[in-house]
Amino acid sequence: SEVYLNGKWLKHDEAFVSVFDRAFMFGDGIYEVTPFYSGKPFLLKEHLKRLKYCLDEIQIKFDPFALQETMLEAISRAGLNEADAAVYIQVSRGAATRSHFVPEKIETTVLLYAFPVTLKGFEKKSWEVMATEDKRWHRCDIKSTALLANVMANEEAIAAGFAENLLVRKGYFTEGSHSSLFFVKYGVVHTHPEGQKILSGITRAEVINICTDLNIKVVEKAVHIDELVEVEEIFVTGTTTQIIPISSITHKNKKVYTARKDSVTKKLQEIFIKRTREKLT
Ligand code: PLP
């Protein structure tokens, strides 16, 4: 398949970057994943806006909105015009002699490609997960390619037969290794507030919008692991995850949560399907 690298379309096995690329050496880059439902982008502007925010935060000068046409071209070149797919974008600071400080003259390395994703049928899934300490840095709002702590957390879960790992910082749940996290307690939806401890999930924001439209109360407040006894439903959200309920949580080899209800999750899934399949932006 083809990838777009620094302005050129190349076969993926003929596309190369420098061994001195800072994304390779330092994880010095930002990435973004945008979903396409039946070939049409969902929340495209929001994804590009987050990419711009992250690039600004680490002072990479690049305008991701200039990539809009290229994203559509990637879908069509990959033959995914009618399919469910996603576009991966990665902007690296670029290649230079290795040094921690950023050299003055450096050009970004831009990679973009489309790939097929199964987005149908998510509402039939449920995940058994584990929970571990959130070992990530203090700027989780930056969608950095430096994903080592996320990779280690997810790998620990998968190796132990779980679907995802929920991260806990000082006793409070932040989010999943690659998903946002919601709790339903006494009918009220709880999720960690935005800020530097979580990624500002695009699906998270859409789910909050849906709650508002359905008159479901949302509180942006972190949930403590000791509060699980009062929790009725838990679900995770994400671009390719969409909305998936958590059936159980295992923490330090003990089951600390088992799902009690599903009605809020089901309602949100139903509206989410309508929005992604009917109201495409
Ligand atoms: N949190 C983390 C750590 C993620 O990596 C992701 C993305 O996959 C999410 C949350 C969900 O964000 P989004 O809904 O924008 O895909």
Q: What values do phi and psi take at 109, rounded to 5?
A: -105, 120
Mark whether 100 and 178 lie in a shared domain.
no
Parent domain of 107: 2-116
The domain boundary, picked from 83, 116, 149, lies at 116
> Which among 108, 89, 90, 98 is positioned nearest to 25, based on CA atoms?
98
Beta-carbon contacts of residue 107 (< 8 Å; ≥ 6 apart): 94, 95
Q: Decide: 82 and 39 in contact? Cβ < 8 Å.
A: yes
Atom 2, ligand 1: residue with shortest CA distance: 178
What ipTM was predicted for this assembly? 0.99
> How is residue 250 written in tokens?
């295992």
Is there an atom of ligand 1 within 6 Å of 201 CB? yes
Banded pLDDT at 23 (limits 50, 70, 90): very high
Please report, as a single letter, which amino acid is at residue 121. Answer: G
- For residue 202 and ligand 1, the question of a CB distance below 6 A is answered with yes
If asked whether residues 183 and 135 sit together in one domain, one would say yes
pLDDT in tens, 90-100: 999 999 999 99
What integer pLDDT is reported at residue 262 of this predicted model? 98
**26 in the same domain as 161:** no
Q: Which of 59, 85, 116 is the last residue of a domain?
A: 116
- 157, 177 Cβ separation under 8 angstroms: yes
Cβ of residue 175 lying under 6 Å from some atom of ligand 1:
yes
CB atoms within 10 A of CB 192: 23
278 pLDDT band, cuts 50/70/90, is confident
Same domain, 135 and 221: yes
Residue 31: pLDDT over 70: yes
Question: Which residue's C-alpha comes closest to atom 12 of ligand 1?
Answer: 201
42, 36 Cβ separation under 8 angstroms: yes
Average pLDDT over residues 55-82: 98
Active-site option among 49, 143, 185, 254: 143
In contact, 168 and 132? CB cutoff 8 Å: yes
Q: Summarize pLDDT for 1-15 with one digit per residue, the tens.
A: 999 999 999 999 999
Say whether both 143 and 26 belong to one domain. Answer: no
Question: Quick one: what percent of the chain has pLDDT higher than 70?
Answer: 99
Q: Could you tell me how many residues make up the chain? A: 281
Give the C-alpha separation, 42 to 109, whole Å: 25
Question: pLDDT, tens digit, for every residue of 123-178?
Answer: 999 999 999 999 999 999 999 999 999 999 999 999 999 999 999 999 999 999 99
CATH classification of the domain holding 99: 3.30.470.10
Same domain, 101 and 187: no
* Distance (Å) of CA 100 to CA 35, 66, 69, 75, 108: 34, 29, 34, 36, 16
What mean pLDDT is predicted for residues 67-78? 98
Domain identity same for 12 and 134:
no
Number of domains in the chain: 2
Q: Where residue 218 sits, what CATH number does that domain have? A: 3.20.10.10
Q: Which is the closest atom of ligand 1 to the Cα of 206?
A: 14
| Mean residue pLDDT across the chain | 98
Same domain, 267 and 131: yes
| DSSP per position, the chain | -EEEETTEEEEGGG----TTBHHHHH--EEEEEEEEETTEESSHHHHHHHHHHHHHHTT----GGGGHHHHHHHHHHTT-TTS-EEEEEEEE--B-SS-SSPPSS---EEEEEEEE---TTGGG--EEEEEEE----S-TTS-BS--HHHHHHHHHHHHTT-S-EEEEETTEEEEESSSEEEEEETTEEEEPPSSTTS---HHHHHHHHHHHHTT--EEE-PPBGGGGGGEEEEEEEETTTEEEEEEEEEETTEEEEE----HHHHHHHHHHHHHHHTS--
**Pair (171, 267) in one structural domain:** yes
Same domain assignment for residues 265 and 191: yes
pLDDT tens profile 213-229: 999 999 999 999 999 99
pLDDT recorded at residue 279 = 55
Domain boundary among 116, 131, 149: 116
Strand partners, 115: 86
Statement to judge: residues 71 and 178 lie in one domain: no
* Residue 35 CB less than 6 A away from ligand 1: no
- Tokens at 256, concatenated: 């600390």
Question: In this structure, are 100 and 128 located in the same domain?
Answer: no
